[in-house]
């Protein structure tokens, strides 16, 4: 269930924007001009970047980051790749992507739309008639991708999420159909699809199933054939069952409390890849985002679809969110503001690994990072914020980027 990472909320936000009325309005589609005009970037500050990744708390064993683009380049590491051998962190090391896999799934679905094999306006129930309950209202494919479907999410009652349960069940296989079936037993998040946005994984489980239904191949195969091979992402894989990470990589760990007190660190590097189990490097993800924004993977219309943020409230949102209470995700990526600079990107987490990739729309500055928390999945928001602020705002922020 690696696609189910926590959303980035209080980490990146602009200032002084009042919350809009909580009513649905037309989506705002970016124009070519809006994507190409951007405020001036501050000069890259390597010292600030190294300080940011070196500020990782003790519960993070390793950090690596890469900044690329015409506005400056930098790579850095911190910590150790293996707590037993004390091996150094490899700048080109591989890591698990978790929910960053959503970006690849969204790209494939939008490619299929461009090929007229799927209509984003049509209900997904027409393509997958036996997946969602009959009582559900029509949910368009577009609403799966932009997190406005209202589909329920998995809970700790559905799958083991405590540290010991994670260790004991990390090799269990959970097919997409099983994950969706468990999720839809819970009440929907809101009644009317498209009326609100709420980040989650269930919509992308269904989107991956849609890819498989339309193509006759696993979604991992389609990602490989349509994205990984054409872009020559040599260190990126979309495994279906292989629990290992090939090549150099930092180990993933989880802290497990002990019955008699104290805790121990368990190595969970090897795990069933499951949904969202892609593996990559900072260089490959940098290339993916670069070619995506350059239009190699999607036509202008489809890229515009990906970067369209619905003008609706964000469920449970507040003025501390990147959208200030309004939606801030497009069809896959999120839009945020760091130090006055607009960036697009995606975060991801799975057990032992947290990562993210963010770019300015003109690609002058691009950031990819990965770190290894010992607290299971989820983002260490303060660390993410410091890395983002150092990369795009040229300053270190203790709380959130303003």
Contact present, 318 and 22 (Cβ < 8 Å):
no
At residue 117, the 3 state secondary structure works out as coil
- In which residue ranges of the chain is pLDDT below 50? 1, 4-27, 31-34, 36, 395-402
CA distance 56 to 382: 9
Output the six-digit token pair for 147. 């997190």
The token pair at 149 is 């479907």
pLDDT for 14 equals 29
Amino acid 184: pLDDT: 97
Amino acid 30: pLDDT: 54
Q: Which of 27, 34, 99, 349 is catalytic?
A: 99
The pLDDT of residue 15 is 25
Give the tokens for residue 140.
């368009």
> What size, in residues, is the chain?
402
d(C-alpha 294, C-alpha 314), whole Å? 29
Q: What share of the chain is helix, strand, coil (3-state, %, to 5)?
A: 30, 20, 50
pLDDT, position 208: 98
Q: Given this model, what pLDDT does residue 215 score?
A: 98
Residue 225 has a CB neighbour count (10 Å cut-off) of: 14
CB neighbourhood size of 337 (10 A): 19
Could you give all domains of the chain from N- to C-terminal order, each with its CATH number?
Answer: 25-393 (3.40.710.10)
CA distance 92 to 107: 25
Please tell me the distance from the alpha carbon of residue 151 to that of residue 143, in angstroms, as a whole number: 10
How many H helices and E strands in the chain?
Answer: 12, 13
Q: What is the DSSP letter of 99?
A: G
Active-site residue 99, yes or no? yes
- Whole-number Å distance between alpha carbons of 119 and 115: 10
**pLDDT for position 260:** 80
């Amino acid at each position: 269930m690696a696609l189910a990472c926590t959303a980035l909320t209080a980490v990146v936000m602009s200032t002084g924007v009042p919350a809009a009325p909580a009513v649905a309005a037309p989506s705002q589609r970016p124009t070519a001009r809006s994507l190409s005009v951007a405020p001036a970037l501050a000069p890259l500050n390597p010292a600030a970047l190294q300080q940011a990744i070196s500020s990782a708390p003790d519960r993070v064993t390793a950090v690596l980051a890469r900044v690329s683009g015409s506005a400056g380049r930098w790579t850095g590491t911190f910590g150790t790749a293996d707590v037993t051998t004390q091996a150094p962190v490899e700048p080109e090391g591989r890591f698990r992507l978790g929910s960053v896999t959503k970006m690849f799934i969204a790209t494939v679905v939008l490619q299929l739309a461009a090929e007229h094999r799927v209509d984003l306006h049509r209900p997904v129930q027409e393509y997958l008639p036996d997946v969602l309950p009959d009582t559900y209202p029509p949910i368009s494919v577009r609403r799966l991708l932009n997190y406005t479907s209202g589909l329920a999410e998995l809970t700790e009652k559905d799958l083991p999420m405590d540290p010991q349960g994670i260790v004991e069940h990390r090799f269990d296989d959970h097919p997409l159909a099983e994950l969706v079936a468990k999720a839809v037993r819970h009440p929907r998040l809101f009644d009317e699809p498209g009326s609100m946005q709420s980040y989650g994984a269930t919509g992308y489980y269904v989107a991956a199933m849609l890819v498989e239904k339309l193509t006759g191949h696993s979604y991992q195969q389609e990602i490989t054939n349509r994205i990984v091979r054409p872009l020559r992402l040599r260190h990126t894989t979309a495994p279906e069952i292989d629990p290992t990470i090939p090549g150099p990589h930092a180990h993933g760990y989880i802290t497990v409390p002990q019955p008699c007190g104290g805790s121990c660190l368990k190595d969970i590097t090897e795990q069933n890849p499951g949904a969202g189990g892609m593996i990559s490097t900072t260089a490959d993800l940098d290339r993916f985002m670069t070619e995506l924004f350059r239009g190699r993977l999607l036509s202008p219309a489809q890229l515009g679809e990906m970067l369209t943020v619905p003008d609706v409230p964000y469920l449970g949102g507040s003025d501390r969110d990147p959208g200030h209470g309004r939606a801030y995700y497009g069809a896959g990526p999120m839009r945020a503001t760091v130090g006055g600079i607009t960036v697009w990107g995606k975060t991801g987490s799975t057990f032992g690994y947290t990562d993210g990739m963010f770019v300015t729309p003109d690609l002058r500055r691009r950031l990819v990072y990965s770190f290894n928390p010992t607290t299971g999945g989820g983002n260490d928001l303060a660390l993410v914020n410091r890395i983002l602020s150092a990369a795009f705002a040229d300053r270190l922020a203790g709380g959130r980027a303003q």
